[in-house]
């Protein structure tokens, strides 16, 4: 085919190229989050708000050692390679081959070298769409790694809050057991003086036994939290136990920073993953549509052959090659329909992710904004219960009160202290949830 004829054919086919697909609308987001405080200064990492070096060290271990994070990072390598492979289709391809042989009678020795070049003309955007899909998949892999880091940091912080809660409850229960034992000793002394009955001493001993019975379950909870931290950080419990032997419940010292919904959602890794998956699915429509149209490739080859003792020859060829999908039994159209359906599904998944993210943030905000009131109420209850116990003991020692008042006051005080420990854990967990819900990628300290 003459060069002018080839150029004319290329122009004709290019004029038949389909129009690009129109994108579906973006999900709607609220103008502002309910109960959201004014944005606080950005923190290097949200867990730094706890000002707890042990927690910071655990999260650093987890981000470096956890298998889920390593797997997500390795998927980036695969996605990068796929993006490079998809981009190679836009460039000419060159290959070189050689052959040689010996035959009888003669003997005759012959050899040849062939250089081949080819270029698939991207008339209908197939290569362009493939590159776009691969690039979107690569972006989703990066965001997935960020999502894994955010989830890992949140899981470690939550397990750490659980561990410190159980340790606090164990310490409080042991203190209460000692206090109840002291009260039981007073009642036993009163019985020896005839001021208390056997029933009174049994009730006092019952409260001591009750505190003792609560310890095993709390110790199991502590062990479970420690084991979970060991799994998350890739360490052994023997390594972590000395590090975690001492410490109080984590308390956030900064107000959670919540910005404009559109900005917050735009930087959430899970929303980025969903949006990039949609972009990849939308680009795949272009690949499937291009398969409905003819393909044009330009190629050529040069071959040099020689025979020992004989003549050498050189041959070459160059020209376009056209492939026309005339009949495929509906396969190509079905592939296009399936690609369009996958794009719609990906868009719906994106919308669902955005709506779920808004709900998650709103719920976390509502819970965290009420934690302060809960903490104040629990602390007030402890103060009242402590005063009640002191007065009940003083009255009983002076012979003016009933020992039942002392026992009841001790039980109420332990319950109040346990409720405050639970409130502390809940506040930490709500702060963690809110921080994770509004966290962006790149959480590595």
105 preceded by a cis bond (ω within 30 of 0)? yes
Q: How confident is the model at residue 8 (pLDDT cuts 50, 70, 90)?
A: very low
- Give the separation between CA 279 and CA 345, rounded to whole angstroms: 12
pLDDT (tens digit per residue) in 232-250: 888 899 999 999 988 899 9
Please report the pLDDT score of residue 304 as a whole number.
Answer: 62
Contact 112, 302 (CB under 8 A): no
Question: Could you tell me the strand order of the sheet in which 108-121 lies?
Answer: 93-103, 108-121, 295-307, 312-323
CA distances in angstroms from 345 to 20, 26, 206, listed in the order given: 19, 14, 62
Provide the pLDDT confidence category of residue 40 given band limits of 50, 70 and 90.
Answer: very low
Specify the pLDDT at position 368: 80
What's the pLDDT at 244? 93
- Give the Cβ contact number of residue 53 at 10 Å: 9
Q: Which residue has the tokens 């050689």?
A: 98
**By C-alpha distance, which of 32, 42, 136, 38 is closest to 440?**
42
Q: Could you tell me the domains of the chain?
A: 26-437 (1.20.1600.10)
Q: Quick one: average pLDDT of 194-201?
A: 72
Determine the pLDDT at residue 360: 84
Mean pLDDT over residues 263-281, rounded? 85
At residue 5, does pLDDT exceed 60?
Answer: no
* pLDDT reported for residue 187: 75
pLDDT computed for residue 99 by the predictor:
63
Q: Mean of the per-residue pLDDT values for the chain?
A: 76
| Res 59: pLDDT | 92
- Inform me whether the pLDDT recorded for 351 exceeds 70: yes
pLDDT, position 165: 94
Summarize the confidence of residues 251-262 as an average pLDDT.
Answer: 67
pLDDT value of residue 23:
53
In whole angstroms, what is the distance from residue 396 CA to residue 189 CA? Answer: 12
pLDDT of residue 246: 87
State the pLDDT confidence band at 341, using cuts at 50, 70 and 90: very high
Query: How far lies 352's CA from each of 27, 136, 196, 284, 372, in Å?
Result: 9, 19, 67, 21, 32
What b/e string do you get for 291-324 counting C-beta neighbours within 10 Å, with b at 16 or more?
bebbbbebbeeebebbeeeeeeeeeeeeebeeee
- For residue 83, report the phi and psi dihedrals to the nearest 5 degrees: -65, -40
Q: 39-53, 147-161, 176-190, 324-338: lowest mean pLDDT where? A: 39-53
- Taking only Cα atoms into account, the Rg of the chain, rounded to an integer number of angstroms, comes to 37
Question: What's the length of the chain?
Answer: 445
In the numeric block, the tokens 């399936």 are attached to: 338
pLDDT attached to residue 144: 80
What is the C-alpha to C-alpha distance for residues 430 and 369, in angstroms, rounded to an integer? 9
pLDDT of residue 168: 93
Q: Quick check: 183 pLDDT over 80?
A: no
pLDDT for 56 equals 93
Q: How far is CA 18 from the centre of its chain?
A: 38
Instruction: Reply yes or no on whether the pLDDT at 91 is more than 80.
Output: no
- pTM for the full model? 0.72
Q: What is the pLDDT of residue 218?
A: 92
More confident residue, 102 or 286: 286
- Of 19-23, 239-243, 264-268, 269-273, the range with the highest mean pLDDT is 239-243
Alpha carbon distance 86, 358 (integer Å): 35
Largest pairwise CA distance in the chain: 132
Strand partners, 301: 116, 317
317: which DSSP letter? E
* pLDDT at residue 307 in the model: 63
Distance CA 283, CA 20 (A): 10
Tell me if the bond preceding 118 is cis, omega within 30° of 0.
Answer: no
- Which is more confident, 108 or 336? 336
Sign of CA dihedral 346, 347, 351, 357: positive
């Amino acid at each position: 085919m003459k060069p002018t004829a080839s150029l004319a054919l290329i122009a004709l086919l290019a004029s038949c190229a389909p129009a690009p697909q129109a994108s579906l609308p973006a999900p709607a987001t609220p103008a502002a989050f309910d109960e959201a405080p004014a944005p606080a200064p950005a923190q290097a990492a949200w867990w730094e708000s706890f000002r707890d070096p042990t927690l910071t060290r655990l999260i650093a271990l987890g981000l470096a050692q956890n298998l889920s994070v390593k797997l997500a990072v390795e998927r980036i390598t695969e996605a990068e390679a796929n993006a490079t492979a998809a981009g190679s289709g836009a460039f000419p391809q060159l290959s070189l081959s050689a052959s040689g042989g010996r035959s009888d009678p003669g003997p005759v020795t012959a050899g040849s070298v062939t250089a081949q070049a080819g270029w698939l003309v991207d008339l209908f955007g197939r290569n362009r769409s493939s590159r776009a899909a691969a690039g979107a998949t690569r972006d989703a892999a990066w965001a997935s790694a960020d999502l894994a880091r955010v989830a890992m940091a949140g899981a470690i912080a939550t397990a750490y809050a659980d561990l410190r809660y159980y340790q606090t409850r164990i310490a409080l229960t042991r203190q209460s057991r000692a206090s109840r034992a002291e009260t039981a000793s007073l009642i036993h002394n009163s019985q020896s003086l005839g001021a208390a009955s056997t029933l009174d001493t049994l009730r006092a001993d019952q409260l001591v036994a009750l505190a003792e019975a609560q310890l095993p379950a709390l110790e199991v909870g502590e062990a479970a939290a420690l084991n979970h931290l060991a799994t998350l950080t890739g360490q052994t419990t023997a390594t972590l136990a000395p590090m975690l032997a001492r410490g109080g419940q984590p308390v956030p010292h900064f107000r959670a920073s919540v910005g404009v919904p559109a900005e917050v959602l735009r930087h959430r890794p899970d929303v980025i993953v969903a949006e990039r998956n949609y972009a990849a699915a939308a680009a795949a429509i272009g690949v499937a549509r291009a398969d409905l149209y003819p393909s044009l490739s330009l190629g050529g080859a040069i071959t040099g052959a020689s025979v020992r003792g004989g003549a050498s020859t050189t041959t070459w060829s160059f020209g376009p090659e056209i492939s026309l999908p005339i009949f495929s039994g509906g396969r190509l159209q079905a592939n296009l329909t399936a690609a369009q359906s996958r794009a719609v599904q990906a868009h719906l998944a994106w919308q669902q992710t955005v709506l779920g993210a808004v709900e998650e943030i709103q719920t976390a905000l509502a819970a965290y904004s009420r934690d302060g009131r809960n903490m104040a109420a629990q602390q007030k209850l402890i103060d009242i219960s402590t005063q009640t116990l002191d007065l009940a003991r003083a009255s009983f020692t002076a012979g003016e009160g009933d020992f039942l008042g002392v026992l009841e006051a001790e039980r109420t005080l332990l319950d109040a202290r346990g409720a405050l420990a639970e409130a502390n854990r809940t506040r930490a967990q709500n702060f963690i949830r809110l921080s994770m819900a509004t966290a962006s990628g790149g959480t590595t300290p």
